[in-house]
Structure 1
Amino acid sequence: MTPKVFLTGGTGYIGGSVLHTIVTAHPEYDVTVLLRKVPGAFSSTYPKVKIVQGDYDSFDVLAEEASKADIVVHNGNSDHEPSLSAIITGLLKRSSPGFLLHLSGTGIVSDWADPTYLGKLNPKIWSDIDDLGEISSLPEHALHRNTEKMLNATIADHSDKVNIAIMCPPDIYGRGRGRGLAKTWSAFVPFFVKESMGLGGKVFYYGEGMNTRSWVHIDDLMIVYLKVVEAAAAGGGGFGWGKEGYYFAGTQEVSHIEVAKASGKILKKHGVIKDEEPVQVSTEQLDAMMKLPRFPKLARYMFASNSRTRPHRAEKLFGYKGTAPTLLESLEEDIMQAVKSL
């Protein structure tokens, strides 16, 4: 039977790439996508994809479409509780168990809130097999903790009715697959370039600059997504769901000082800055960056924290490893696109 897939966030960087990946690999799937605004060329690009209009606050629309879908792939705002609640409500109305792939992120294991390792290398490396107990009991300030708690509660109460996979990618790089109909680039590089310009054209680091994060190319991330979607379409057998349904996707680690040094060379090469050498910023300078009312210390997370993870589940299930160019190999294209957008 042809699986019915309902996808949200279809014009986002990840969601647009997931949509394109699914439709390209499996044109036989019955795919419906939630769109707040429909890009002009969307229907001609994806003529078989059904469109329902709404946003993450369209509770009834989300619940109705989830109830009709065999597989829901929920992208976009990882922290948005009403949309997740609506999708779970809809899936629980199904006569047979459905599948949910929810986008979270390794920000949940970032050490940004603890000054101990800001700007320093944290030796802790998180496993999506060995550390699930610790991940499920992280403190309330952990990013994405609110929605992961909702998912964990659903797993505890309704594992017989909903099969859940928490997709937890690290920082992502590379051009998205949305064919110009979706956001094409990830967040880290544009933010770093923008803040460097705000420092008078100086790439920067905090502390020792040895804080280290996991990374994945968008193309490699799509391998994980497609494998999990295909497993759901086949009934879920052999893959992890519920308590075992946690998927990291990092393929490499890079320290912030490595990113800063490589960025400085690229920006100088293209005449954007004059001095390629990174400068050390103070705590006050760091905290003055990227001010958001709901996340006043966002720059600590972006530029000074550690978030080191290993995709042990994907490695075990299907021999997952990175095949795309590395971050440092791809950085020039990402940086120059960020410069252009400024």
Structure 2
Amino acid sequence: MDSKIFMTGTTGYIGGTLLDTLVTNHPEYTITVLLRTVPSNFPARYPNVKIVRGDYDNFKVLSNAASEASIVIHSGDSDHEPSINALIAGLLRRPSSAPSFLIHLSGTAVVSDFLTPTHLGRLNPKTWSDTIDIDTIVSRPDSAPHRNVDKIIQAAAAAYGDKLKTAIICPPDIYGAGRGLGRTRSVFLPMYLKEMESVGGRPFYVGEGGNMRSWVHMEDLMELYLRLVEAAVEGGSNATWGKEGYYFAASQEHSQRSVAQAVGKILEKHGFIENKEPVKIELEQVDEMLKEIPFPGVGRYLFASNSRTRADRAKGLFGYEPKAPTLFEALEEDLLVAKGGK
């Protein structure tokens, strides 16, 4: 059993919660984290976690830290090629004859249909399985988000399969509180609330509002991560790695219109808005949203597209069975936090 772990992104929503999950469940693991800036309470909260100072563009720092670990968990920028190249190079330098493990955070934007107008604002019947559809998933077009880094990982796994075992985790939209020392909330609700102001303060949807997206609670996502990390510590165990080491994490799905209706009811209940009824908007309005984000088409992706996935692999391998509150059970608390009311 080799439990030397190097982690990135540990002040982020997912990475920070994962660090807390691993330290809590496995204090025997030897964990090193990359930090550009060290939170003031980090040493007190995690006294046994080693800190390496640096950022994603520092090839030497990343590769050296990876070379000293048996498992690298990359939860940082999913599209940043220099960092993934550095981490892979470091893992391949390890002198051990035992395989190294790379667990990378991607996202289900890779299978979203936002790049074509066919189903924007209405239901796309396609639901993606990480087992049945794996060949199609790992050959998505280069224009799909996250494909640039996914391809680098898949190429490394194919070339060095005996020495480097890889897994890509693709969570859908996430809700619920994080437990790290940095960001503790997801981005969807704050962005949605912000753009409500551009349409008169009303919840909104596009077209029919039938476009469907998958969701997962943070704690359910952590259960999947925990099982995969534990498998890596045990030398791979019963997990799947390489080309088929691709893990969706969805626990449920909801239409944009149903989310808008639920948001409206909660905001009206707490006096944030006077009219709870969602308003229908056009794609031209969506295209003007969130232009400060360097992600072409981000408005269409978040508010008009379908991104439907099933966590078939985790269910088959680990018996993954989400148990956390559903989106609509947790939505009121998440909204109040996002509005600064709780």
TM-score, scaled relative to structure 2: 0.97
The residue number in structure 2 matching 1:94 is 94
Do the aligned partners of 1:129 and 1:312 also contact (CA within 8 Å) in 2? yes
State how far apart, in whole Å, the 2-side matches of 1:81 and 1:72 are: 16
| 1:127 and 2:129 correspond | yes
State how far apart, in whole Å, the 2-side matches of 1:20 and 1:296 are: 33
AA at the equivalent of 2:157: I
AA at the equivalent of 1:46: Y
Q: 141, 147, 150: which one pairs with 2:149? A: 147
Deviation, 1:284, is 1.3
Do the aligned partners of 1:249 and 1:311 also contact (CA within 8 Å) in 2? yes
The secondary structure found in structure 1 opposite 2:118 is: helix
State how far apart, in whole Å, the 2-side matches of 1:198 and 1:336 are: 20
Deviation, 1:2, is 4.9
AA at the equivalent of 1:138: R
AA at the equivalent of 1:80: H
AA at the equivalent of 1:217: H
State how far apart, in whole Å, the 2-side matches of 1:16 and 1:311 are: 23
5+ long unaligned stretches in structure 2: none
Residue by residue over 1:239-271, the C-alpha shift from the partner in whole angstroms, topping out at 9 and shown as x without a partner, is: 100022111000001111110000001111111
Aligned positions of 1:1-342 closer than 5 A: 1-95=1-95, 96=97, 97-178=99-180, 181-292=181-292, 294-340=294-340
Do the aligned partners of 1:261 and 1:277 also contact (CA within 8 Å) in 2? yes
Residue by residue over 1:52-96, the C-alpha shift from the partner in whole angstroms, topping out at 9 and shown as x without a partner, is: 111111110100010110110000210010000000000111123
More moved, 236-245 vs 109-118:
236-245
State how far apart, in whole Å, the 2-side matches of 1:102 and 1:329 are: 29
Deviation, 1:295, is 2.5
The secondary structure found in structure 1 opposite 2:101 is: strand
Residue by residue over 1:286-326, the C-alpha shift from the partner in whole angstroms, topping out at 9 and shown as x without a partner, is: 11101147433210000000000000111001211210000
Give the paired residue count.
Answer: 339
Do the aligned partners of 2:100 and 2:164 also contact (CA within 8 Å) in 1? yes
Deviation, 1:130, is 1.1
Do the aligned partners of 1:167 and 1:247 also contact (CA within 8 Å) in 2? yes
State how far apart, in whole Å, the 1-side matches of 2:88 and 2:58 are: 14
More moved, 141-150 vs 193-202:
193-202
Do the aligned partners of 2:2 and 2:70 also contact (CA within 8 Å) in 1? no
Do the aligned partners of 1:128 and 1:313 also contact (CA within 8 Å) in 2? yes
State how far apart, in whole Å, the 2-side matches of 1:297 and 1:59 are: 30
State how far apart, in whole Å, the 2-side matches of 1:332 and 1:76 are: 28
Do the aligned partners of 1:14 and 1:76 also contact (CA within 8 Å) in 2? no
Deviation, 1:158, is 1.0
State how far apart, in whole Å, the 2-side matches of 1:293 and 1:318 are: 36
Residue by residue over 1:207-235, the C-alpha shift from the partner in whole angstroms, topping out at 9 and shown as x without a partner, is: 10010011000000000000000000001
State how far apart, in whole Å, the 1-side matches of 2:2 and 2:112 are: 39
The secondary structure found in structure 2 opposite 1:117 is: coil
Deviation, 1:34, is 0.3
AA at the equivalent of 2:119: Y
AA at the equivalent of 2:282: S
Percent same amino acid among aligned pairs?
Answer: 58
State how far apart, in whole Å, the 1-side matches of 2:250 and 2:179 are: 18
The secondary structure found in structure 2 opposite 1:100 is: strand
5+ long unaligned stretches in structure 1: none
Do the aligned partners of 2:175 and 2:216 also contact (CA within 8 Å) in 1? yes
The secondary structure found in structure 2 opposite 1:116 is: coil
State how far apart, in whole Å, the 1-side matches of 2:76 and 2:259 are: 26
AA at the equivalent of 1:234: E
State how far apart, in whole Å, the 1-side matches of 2:316 and 2:227 are: 13
State how far apart, in whole Å, the 1-side matches of 2:173 and 2:304 are: 14
Q: What CA RMSD, in Å, does the superposition of the two structures yield over aligned residues?
A: 1.1
The secondary structure found in structure 2 opposite 1:6 is: strand
The secondary structure found in structure 2 opposite 1:138 is: coil
Residue by residue over 1:18-75, the C-alpha shift from the partner in whole angstroms, topping out at 9 and shown as x without a partner, is: 1000010000100000001000000000000000111111110100010110110000
Residue by residue over 1:78-119, the C-alpha shift from the partner in whole angstroms, topping out at 9 and shown as x without a partner, is: 001000000000011112320000000111000001100001
